[in-house]
Homo-oligomer: A and B are copies of this chain.
Amino acid sequence: MQEPTFLILTALAAGPQHGYGVITDVERISDGQVRLRAGTLYAAFDRLQGEGLIAEDREEIVDGRVRRYYRLTGDGAARLAAEAERMRRHAKAATARLRVIGSGGTA
């Protein structure tokens, strides 16, 4: 799973959100480092819905504009948890090996 997809699921883990809300939320989660593109987001929505990881929650009309809310499914939450654990382990492995270099392994 790629970073944008992971962050979309993470955004929805906080509760149902609409597309534009996910974009701004992802930007916040990543400290402004990841700015989701509309193309990425809506393609991902379709794909993740097809995989059963997210589902349409409801539609609202606010100021004459449609807001389509998506929510994380049980499968989506499980998948996100698995990916988070996988990333945690990989990050830990990399950091441990980099520490060895830093502490004079190469010198």
List residues of chain A with CB under 8 Å of any chain B CB: 2-3, 6-7, 9-10, 13-15, 29-31, 33, 72, 77, 80-81, 83-95, 97-98, 100-101, 105
Contact = CB atoms under 8 A, between A and B. Distances in A.
A9 B100 contact: no
Given A13-B98, A97-B10, A100-B14, A84 B91 contact: yes
Given A98-B77, A101-B77, A90 B30 contact: yes
Interface of A is mostly: helix
Contact of A2 (B2, B72, B81, B95): B2
Contact of A6 (B6, B14, B94, B101): B94
Contacts of A83: 94
